[in-house]
């Protein structure tokens, strides 16, 4: 008989996936704000590029590819 306060393996895996998704969301928000501020600074002070879309596109690609890995892992556990 298992004790009532122990977590099953499936519950632990779901909690890990949930923690990864929360971490990714927070990390994404911080980097989006960072890239937005960086592009505004370069736009106002350097006047070289209207916006730094290339950096943002690379970043969004990175986030989407990482999100796909996390949600694929979540599908394995759920």
CB 4 within 8 A of CB 67: no
Domain-embedded: residue 2: no
Quick one: pLDDT at residue 61?
A: 75
Note whether residue 20 is domain-resident. Answer: yes
Report yes or no on 33 lying in a domain: yes
Q: In the chain, which residues have pLDDT < 50? A: 1-3, 78
Question: Does some domain include residue 31?
Answer: yes
Give the C-alpha separation, 12 to 9, whole Å. Answer: 5
Task: Report pLDDT for 77.
Answer: 52
Domain containing 28 equals 9-77
Residue-level pLDDT at 57: 72
* Its pTM surpasses 0.75: no
Scan for tokens 């977590």, then name that residue.
Answer: 7
Q: What tens digit of pLDDT does each residue of 20-42 get?
A: 888 877 877 887 788 778 777 77
Q: How many domains does the chain have?
A: 1
Determine the pLDDT at residue 68.
65
């Amino acid at each position: 008989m298992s004790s009532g306060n122990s977590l099953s393996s499936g519950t632990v895996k779901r909690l890990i996936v949930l923690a990864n998704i929360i971490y990714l969301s927070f990390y994404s928000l911080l980097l989006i704000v960072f890239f937005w501020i960086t592009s505004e600074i370069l736009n106002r002070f350097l006047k070289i590029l209207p916006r730094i879309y290339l950096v943002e596109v690379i970043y969004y690609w990175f986030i989407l590819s990482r999100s796909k890995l996390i949600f694929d892992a979540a599908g394995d556990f759920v």
